[in-house]
Amino acid sequence: MAQKINVYGMLNSYAVKNNNPLVDLDPFVAYFEKYLKRAQEGEGDEKIDPAEWLERNLAPQLSSLAEQGKIAINGKEKNRICLCDYYAERVLGAYKNPDNDAALPFPDEFSLGLKIPDDQKRTVKVTAEMAAYLAEPQETDLPVITLKFPGEYGSALVLSSMIPFRLLEICMLKIRNFLQNRSNRVHVQYKLGSHFAGREAYLRDTLDQIQNRPMSCVRDMGEAGEFIFYFWTYFCSLIRSELTIKNELLAEESAVLQSAFIVEICIGFFRSRVSKAREAELALKSFELEMEKPPYYFSREAIAGFKDNRGFPLLGQYSQEELDGYIKKRCGESAVFDEMPELLIFHTGDGASWLIKKSKVIPLCIKLLAEARVPVSRAISRRWKNKLQSYLREPAMDDDGEFEKLLAHYLEEYAPVLSALFRDHRLYLIHEEMVLGQAGTSEFPRFFARDELLPLRVLLLLKRREILADVKLLLPFWNSFVSGLLAFFSRLRGKKQVFERTEEEAAKKVHVPETMRILQNAALEAEAGAVPDGYTLESYLEELTSRWGKLLNKQAKTDLVNDVNALIRDKFRQFLKTAKRPLINKNTFIILTDEIMRGSQGLRQISEQNALSLYIKLYLIKLCRKK
C-alpha cells in the first residue's frame, strides 16, 4: 500500500476541503494518519504503522515535491505548506466537461467558491486590452487570468494556456448550444441574410459547421479569411445588439453573449495578424527586388533604408525580427539540393559585412572590375612615375608575380568588396552555377581556369609593360638619359643594376633627344594653325571631346575617351621607334592621324569624324609637348 500513497493528492484534497492553498502541517498529518488507518481496514495481515510510515516517508516526499515546484515550504513557518498550482488546478478542473457546461456561463470566482488574491491572477478586460494581451508574448508567471466582460455581464476564470484556441473551442460549444434551439438558428440566419446577399449558401454552410463541427470553426478563425471574418463580426454584433437590451438573461443567453464578446476580440486580432503577415510578405518581395538593383551589395544600414515603389520605408511593414529571420533563412537554405543559398553575406577586411543576392554576384564582379580598372591603373602609374623620377625601380615593374601583388594591394584599397569576393571560396561555386548553368553555356566572361581564379592583370585588363611604357612617356626625355648613365656607372662598380637596357635600345636612345627636339618644333608649328583664338590646347581638346564623345552615361563617356587616348599613345610609341628625322614636319601629325583613323574600325564608327580627327592630331601634339 505504501507505493500507492499519493502525498500530493492528499495535500490537494485537504486544501480543497478547507478551500485554502495553505496547509498547516500538524492538522494535515493527523488527517493523513486517519486516512492511512481507514485505507488499511479490510486488508490482509501485512499492515503498516501510519505514524511510523509518516515519520519515515513524509518529510522526503515533501522535499521532493518542493524541488519539483509543486509546493512551497514557508521559510519562517516550516509547519505551513503552500500548494503553488492550487488555483490553476481548480480552474482547470472547472473545464473538464465543457460539453456538459455549454448552456452555462463561464465559471468565475463566485461559481467556483474561490477568492484568488490579486497577486495570484491577472485581470484582462475583454476589450482592446484583450487584443493587446493576445499580441504580447504570453507570460507563465500568473497562469490564472480573469476575463472581465463589458458592462454587468460578469467575468470568466481561465488559464493563460487556454488563450486563445482552447478558449475559442469552449465558445464554439456554447454558441452551438444556442443554435441548437431551432428558433434561434432561423432567427440568426434570417438576420444575417441581408449582410450576405448572394452568398446565402456560404452562410448556411457556416451555421451548419458550427452545429456539426464546432472545433473546425476555430481553425478557420485562425486563418481569418474574408468571409469568415465578416461572418463572425456580424454574428457577434447581432448577439450583442439583441441580448444586451434585455433586462434579464437566461443562462444559455449569458453564455452565448460572453462567447460573442470573446470571439469578436479574437477574430479581430486574427484578421489584423493575417493582414500584417500579408503586408510583411509583400514587403519582403519588395526587399528582394531592391536586392537586384545597383549597387547589388548592401550593408545593414542600407537594408534598413529600403523603400517600396510608393516611397514608404519597408522597415515597419515588416519588423526587424521578421527581416532578420527572413535573411537568416535565405542565407541558410537553397531551393535546390547542392546549390548555394539565394542570399550571401561577404565580409571585407575592415570588418564590414555586405548582403548580396546570389544571382547578382557575377554581374557585381563585372561591374566592380570595370570601376576598379581606372583608379588601380592610375595609382600604379603615379607610384611608378614617382619612383622613376627618383631614378628608382621596383620588382613589380619587371615581374608579373610581383605585379600581381601590387594589383591585389590597390584592389583592396579601391575595391574592397571585389577583393573580398575574390578571396571567398564560394565565388567559384557561384561562378559554376551562374555561368555554366544547366545547359553548360555562359553569357558571362569566365573568372576561373582549372579551378583557379584568373590573374588580376587578366581580369582588370592591365598590362605591366603598357603601364610602364605610358609612365615613361610622361617623363622628360633626359630622365631616361640620366637613368641610363646611372645604370652604366652602377655596372662599372659591380653593383645591382638600377635599369637594364640592351645595346640596341641604348643605340636608339642616342637619337631620341634629337628626334624629340624636331618633333616638338613640328608640334609647335602644327599647334599654331590648329588651335583657334581664345582656346588653349587643353580647353580645345575638351571642346572636341564633347563633340565626338556623345554619350549620356558619364562613366561610359569617360571610358570611351580613355580608350581612345590609350590607342593614340600606343600608335605614338610605335611611331617613335621608326621615326626618321629628315621626314618629320608639321604634316607628320596629319599623316599619323590618318593612319590611326584607318587602322581602327571602332574609331571609324564614331559619327563626328572631323572632330575626332582633329582631336587625335591635337592629342599627338600634346604628347610631344609633354616630352
Phi-psi region of 48 (alpha: psi -120 to 50; beta: other; left: phi over 0): beta
The CA distance from 213 to 199, in Å, is 20
> Per-residue pLDDT for 82 more than 90?
no
C-alpha cell at 325: 529571420
User: Which of 29-33, 164-168, 337-341, 569-573 has the weakest average pLDDT?
Assistant: 337-341
- Summarised one tens digit per residue, pLDDT across range 593-606 is 888 888 777 787 78
- Summarised one tens digit per residue, pLDDT across range 296-320 is 999 999 999 999 888 899 998 998 9
> Per-residue pLDDT for 492 more than 60?
no
Q: Is residue 287 part of a domain?
A: no
User: What is the pLDDT, as a whole number, of residue 444?
Assistant: 58
Provide the residue type at 352 as one letter: A
444 and 390 co-located in one domain = yes
> What's the mean pLDDT in 326-344?
80
542 and 586 co-located in one domain = yes
Q: Is residue 319 part of a domain?
A: yes
> Per-residue pLDDT for 414 more than 80?
yes
User: Which of 111-115, 137-141, 408-412, 549-553 has the weakest average pLDDT?
Assistant: 137-141
The CA distance from 331 to 356, in Å, is 10
CB atoms within 10 A of CB 64: 13
> Per-residue pLDDT for 78 more than 80?
no
Considering only residues 5 and 74, tell me which one the structure prediction assigns the higher pLDDT: 5
295 upstream amide cis, omega within 30 of 0 = yes
Q: Is residue 483 part of a domain?
A: no
Of the spans 29-33, 83-87, 430-434, which averages the highest pLDDT? 83-87
* 182-193 and 200-212 helices, crossing angle to 10°: 150
The CA distance from 269 to 530, in Å, is 81
365 and 257 co-located in one domain = no
User: What is the pLDDT, as a whole number, of residue 531?
Assistant: 81
Task: Quickly list DSSP for 560-614.
Answer: HHHHHHHHHHHHHHHHHHH--GGG-STTHHHHHHHHHHHH-HHHHTSS-HHHHHH
Q: Is residue 613 part of a domain?
A: yes
- Residue 86 and residue 114 in contact, taking contact as beta carbons nearer than 8 Å: no
The CA distance from 28 to 15, in Å, is 9
> Per-residue pLDDT for 392 more than 90?
no
Inter-CA distances, 529 with 385, 520, 535, 582, 597, Å: 33, 15, 12, 22, 21
> Per-residue pLDDT for 401 more than 60?
yes
CB atoms within 10 A of CB 370: 14
340 and 372 co-located in one domain = no
Largest CA distance in the chain: 141
Q: Is residue 500 part of a domain?
A: no
User: What is the pLDDT, as a whole number, of residue 437?
Assistant: 62
216 and 80 co-located in one domain = no
User: Which of 57-61, 584-588, 607-611 has the weakest average pLDDT?
Assistant: 584-588
Q: How many domains does the chain have?
A: 5
Name 421's Cβ contacts closer than 8 Å, sequence gap at least 6.
346, 361, 364, 365, 368, 427
140 and 270 co-located in one domain = yes
Backbone dihedral angles phi then psi of residue 498, each to the nearest 5 degrees: -90, -40
Q: Is residue 89 part of a domain?
A: no
Rounded to 10 degrees, what is the CA torsion of 228, 229, 231, 234?
Answer: 170
> What's the mean pLDDT in 69-79?
71
403 and 393 co-located in one domain = yes
The CA distance from 514 to 627, in Å, is 12
Q: Which of 262, 263, 242, 267 is nearest to 253 (CA)?
A: 242
pLDDT band at 495 (very low <50, low <70, confident <90, very high): very low
- Summarised one tens digit per residue, pLDDT across range 103-162 is 999 999 999 999 998 888 999 999 999 999 998 866 656 899 999 999 899 999 999 999
Residue keyed to cell 620588382? 395
User: Which of 61-70, 419-428, 481-490, 615-624 has the weakest average pLDDT?
Assistant: 481-490
- Residue 278 and residue 196 in contact, taking contact as beta carbons nearer than 8 Å: no
Q: Is residue 479 part of a domain?
A: no
User: What is the pLDDT, as a whole number, of residue 558?
Assistant: 81
Q: Which domain holds residue 407?
A: 357-467
516 and 618 co-located in one domain = yes
The CA distance from 598 to 609, in Å, is 11
- Over pLDDT 70: what percentage of the chain? 86
309 and 262 co-located in one domain = no
Question: Any bridge partners for residue 353, and if so which?
Answer: 347
418 and 460 co-located in one domain = yes
The pairing of strands 144-148 and 122-125 is parallel
137 and 238 co-located in one domain = yes
457 and 556 co-located in one domain = no
Name 423's Cβ contacts closer than 8 Å, sequence gap at least 6.
none
The CA distance from 610 to 209, in Å, is 86
C-alpha cell at 429: 561555386
Considering only residues 122 and 434, tell me which one the structure prediction assigns the higher pLDDT: 122
SS3 assignment, position 17? helix
Q: Is residue 280 part of a domain?
A: no
Query: Is residue 309 exposed (0-12), middle (13-18) or buried (19+ Cβ within 10 Å)?
Result: exposed
User: What is the pLDDT, as a whole number, of residue 500?
Assistant: 41
Please identify, among 306, 325, 355, the residue that sits at the C-terminal boundary of a domain: 355
Residue keyed to cell 509518516? 54
